[in-house]
Chain A
Amino acid sequence: MSLIIKDLYARVKDGAQILNGVSLEIPKGQVHAVMGPNGSGKSTLSKVLCGHPDYEVISGTAELDGQDLFSMSVDERSRAGLFLAFQYPVEVPGVSNANFMRAALQARLPKGEELDAVSFYKTMRSTMSKLGMDTKFTARAVNEGFSGGEKKRNDVLQMMMLEPTYAILDETDSGLDVDALRIVSDGVNAMRAPFRSFMIITHYKRLLDYIRPDVVHVLYKGKIVRTAGYELVEQIEQNGFDFLKTEE
């Protein structure tokens, strides 16, 4: 059981082509890091997989445990087990964190079944506590007025509550201070399991020091150009992405 992406070409709707034949397989139980210079298509890849309406698939396939991802709507992909922690989490004024999470969890229940309010709040509060979040955030509107770090923590809170089987973390480390980075990483590490896998998009080694990846990919000009182990992270940290240009 895996997330399998084959020969994926995609572009901004009515705009530039960004992905130029991405092929990738992330088996369950593994953590894969995706690195690459700015503008190489990392965030586009995450958004295309989740079904963002600004992008369109030109060709290629993506399968989630054998299911055709691109034939599903955005919400169906989420309920099928895919999760995206956003690079820039969106503010949703007037919708409280608690109501938002309740709606997301309710949507996963069979028709006619109601979410248990007591256990919902209990779980939400204890998860917030693990992430060092004030429980007052349950009543606050989703991400509204949150600092950059609070928004990222809120996304990780959602991931821990929804318990996806495939989680994509798009630059979750940006905007986090050292302590917050450790807390968030601890949360992710606690979720590592044989039935779950992660795609971690990042520019920096420090996150991957906390969440040690099994496989590291380099995405460049919309294509996976190199795949290796953790040693690739150290190489990039020391020498940057210059090797990509010499290989061109």
Chain B
Amino acid sequence: MSIEEAFALAEAEAKLEQALADNKTRFDNAVLPNRYNEDWRFGRPNKFAMALAETLQRNANCHGGASVQHAGDSAVPVALAANDDLRQTEMLMPTIGSDALLGLHLKRFGNGYALYIEEDTKEPIRLTYKTSGLYTPSTFIMVAPGVKAHVIEQYCGTGACTMFATRNIQVAEGAELMVELNADVDAGSYMVITNIQNMGGKVKHLTELRGEWVREETIAEIYTPDADVQLYSANRLAGNQVLDQHTRQIHHAGGSSSNLLYKNVVDDNATAIFAGNIYVAPAAHHTDAYQSNRNMLLSDKATIHSLPGLEILADKVRCSHGSASAPMDDEQLFYLCARGIPKHEAQLLVADGFLADATDKFRGNIQTT
């Protein structure tokens, strides 16, 4: 090792040490989520926060495995377990009321992927994370200028597992990214903090989430005119499941656009929470942004909390938001049954059709809304 290399390594180690110390401070100074925090008001945070904190405080090992599948011809650089790089990118990550949890995550996380996508992907790149215990993986996706990419992330958990993921997504000018997150943690808990930074490209983002307790925080920051972000989510809840979704569409630049459509089918005693916000910075005139949360209730005991929001500091914008929660349409159900389809099957068809609105829009061609 040359003297230069030795210095570089020592500098990197010092940075990492500082990062860990900063994260400890971040954790020490922040309050663990509780119901008195507005961002956690309906989300029943105790179960997840306490389990994660206790396990990590005991320095328990993270249990999980990750794999990547890339069938395309292009050579996509993939850095598995590039922990130091990932830690550096996560230092600046904003959260929606989860600073303490992110501090814990950064103190000790599992592994993850850093994808630098420099060529079009012919087939989707598939990232898979699996666990039956505690797992805190991280993902960093960066798409180079003008490149078209499709990434599918799958988070699979079995039993009463706990998975806490962070994701950093950066899209350069002229790039197009379709990214879908599919999480199924069975009887366990799942939390994901996603930070999308759009520097002039088009992003389509879909989440499909299932678990006993699930929280999604997605923050999309749009920095240039003509940049576009489309956020979709389609979920089916049953039993006592809780799905707590928080989003921010942040427009720093005028002439940019964003669209959000989050849909849930909620059965039994399940609870779905949506709290979204469109923020338009003072100089971001001619922003075009929309946000819609739609819920179908299949049970009298199902609960919906829907809190769409706008915070507009510019004058000339086109922004709107909407929310609707209603039972399944009896006329639609009757129409299907009147063709001989048994009631239970007809309910599944109508519910799938309701969610397909979001998934179909995601899978269509990337267009500016």
Question: Closest chain B residue to A79 by CB distance?
Answer: B340
- Known contacts A52-B334, A53-B334: does B357 contact A94 (CB below 8 Å)? yes
Contact A78 B345 (CB under 8 A): no
Known: A75-B338, A107-B341. 15 other contacts (CB 8 A): A51-B338, A53-B330, A74-B334, A75-B342, A75-B343, A78-B339, A79-B340, A90-B335, A94-B356, A100-B339, A103-B341, A103-B349, A104-B340, A104-B341, A107-B345
Question: Closest chain A residue to B339 by CB distance?
Answer: A104
Question: Closest chain B residue to A78 by CB distance?
Answer: B340
Quote the shortest CB–CB distance from B344 to chain A (angstroms).
10
Q: Which residues in B have their C-beta under 8 angstroms from that of A86? A: 335
Q: Which residues in A have their C-beta under 8 angstroms from that of B116? A: none
Cα(A8)–Cα(B352), bound, Å: 38
Q: Which of B329, B349, B355, B356 meets A100, CB within 8 Å?
A: B349
Residues of chain B at the chain A interface (Cβ within 8 Å): 329-332, 334-343, 345-346, 349-350, 352-357, 360
Interface centre among A52, A75, A108, A158 (most CB of B within 10 A): A75
Quote the shortest CB–CB distance from B68 to chain A (angstroms).
32
Cα(A53)–Cα(B334), bound, Å: 8
Q: Which of A50, A79, A89, A94 meets B353, CB within 8 Å?
A: A94
Q: Which residues in B have their C-beta under 8 angstroms from that of A91? A: 332
Contact B330 A95 (CB under 8 A): no
Quote the shortest CB–CB distance from B347 to chain A (angstroms).
12
Q: List 5 A-B contacts (CB under 8 A).
A: A73-B337, A75-B343, A78-B340, A94-B355, A103-B346
Within 8 A of B (CB), among A20-78: 50-54, 73-75, 77-78
Quote the shortest CB–CB distance from B341 to chain A (angstroms).
5
Cα(A54)–Cα(B343), bound, Å: 16
Cα(A51)–Cα(B338), bound, Å: 8
Question: Closest chain B residue to A80 by CB distance?
Answer: B340
Q: Does A84 have its Cβ within 8 Å of any Cβ on chain B?
A: yes
Main secondary structure of the interface of A (DSSP, over half): mixed
Quote the shortest CB–CB distance from A227 to chain B (angstroms).
27
Question: Closest chain B residue to A158 by CB distance?
Answer: B339
Q: Which of A78, A79, A90, A103 meets B332, CB within 8 Å?
A: A90
Interface centre among B330, B340, B349, B354 (most CB of A within 10 A): B340
Contact A92 B340 (CB under 8 A): no
Cα(A100)–Cα(B350), bound, Å: 10
Q: Does A93 have its Cβ within 8 Å of any Cβ on chain B?
A: yes
Q: Does A129 have its Cβ within 8 Å of any Cβ on chain B?
A: no
Contact B352 A95 (CB under 8 A): yes
Top 10 nearest A-B pairs (CB, nearest first) are A94-B353, A78-B340, A94-B356, A95-B353, A74-B337, A104-B339, A90-B335, A79-B340, A75-B337, A107-B340
Contact A162 B339 (CB under 8 A): yes
Q: Which residues in A have their C-beta under 8 angstroms from that of B343? A: 73-75
Cα(A158)–Cα(B355), bound, Å: 24
Quote the shortest CB–CB distance from B18 to chain A (angstroms).
51
Quote the shortest CB–CB distance from A240 to chain B (angstroms).
32
Question: Closest chain B residue to A91 by CB distance?
Answer: B332
Contact B360 A94 (CB under 8 A): yes
- Known contacts A90-B332, A99-B349, A100-B349: does B357 contact A75 (CB below 8 Å)? no
Contact A92 B338 (CB under 8 A): no
Q: Which residues in A have their C-beta under 8 angstroms from that of B332? A: 90-92
- Known contacts A53-B330, A103-B345, A107-B345: does B337 contact A78 (CB below 8 Å)? yes
Q: Which residues in A have their C-beta under 8 angstroms from that of B338? A: 50-51, 74-75, 77-78, 84
Q: Does A160 have its Cβ within 8 Å of any Cβ on chain B?
A: no
Contact A100 B334 (CB under 8 A): no
Quote the shortest CB–CB distance from B120 to chain A (angstroms).
27
Cα(A52)–Cα(B330), bound, Å: 10
Q: Which residues in B have their C-beta under 8 angstroms from that of A99? A: 349
